[in-house]
């Protein structure tokens, strides 16, 4: 095993320390190794989460329009929703393919 030195601002280090303890890692080093090795997976999941959050907000806006509480919905917004739902279907399919 090799030693690596990195500089991390105090506030970010405090957050890292909170996270590794909260998530049950044995040390800061173990947490950082895990985070580094699994960055791609977590970044992909975060992107999917943001996509779903956008979809939920957009669908909420459509619902508000249906019940007369929102009057600013335009045709381009509906097209965006259609595109978003297609992206969600693709994201869900990719999640289903994971082991």
Q: What is the pTM of this model?
A: 0.42
57 shares its domain with 30: no
Extended beta strands in 1-99, E state: none
Confidence of residue 79 (pLDDT cuts 50, 70, 90): confident
- Between CA 77 and CA 80, with CA 79 as vertex, the angle to 5 degrees is 65
27 shares its domain with 57: no
89 pLDDT more than 60 = yes
52 shares its domain with 64: yes
53 shares its domain with 84: yes
52 shares its domain with 6: no
Using CA atoms, how far apart are residues 64 and 2, in angstroms rounded to an integer? 57
Task: Enumerate long-range contacts of 57-65, CB under 8 Å, 24 or more apart.
Answer: 58/84
Q: What is the pLDDT of residues 25-47, one digit of tens each?
A: 888 888 888 888 776 665 566 76
49 shares its domain with 87: yes
Q: What is the pLDDT of residues 43-60, one digit of tens each?
A: 566 766 676 677 777 777
Give residue 49's domain range.
39-96
25 shares its domain with 49: no
Using CA atoms, how far apart are residues 98 and 52, in angstroms rounded to an integer? 18
């Amino acid at each position: 095993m090799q030693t690596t030195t990195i500089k991390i601002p105090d506030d970010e280090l405090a957050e890292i320390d909170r996270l590794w303890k909260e998530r049950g890692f044995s040390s800061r080093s173990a947490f950082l190794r895990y985070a580094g090795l699994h960055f791609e997976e977590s970044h992909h999941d975060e992107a999917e989460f943001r996509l779903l959050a956008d979809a939920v907000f957009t669908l909420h806006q459509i619902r508000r329009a249906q019940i007369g509480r929102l009057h600013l919905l335009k045709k381009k917004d509906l097209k965006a929703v259609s595109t978003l739902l297609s992206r969600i279907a693709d994201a869900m399919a990719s999640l289903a393919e994971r082991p």
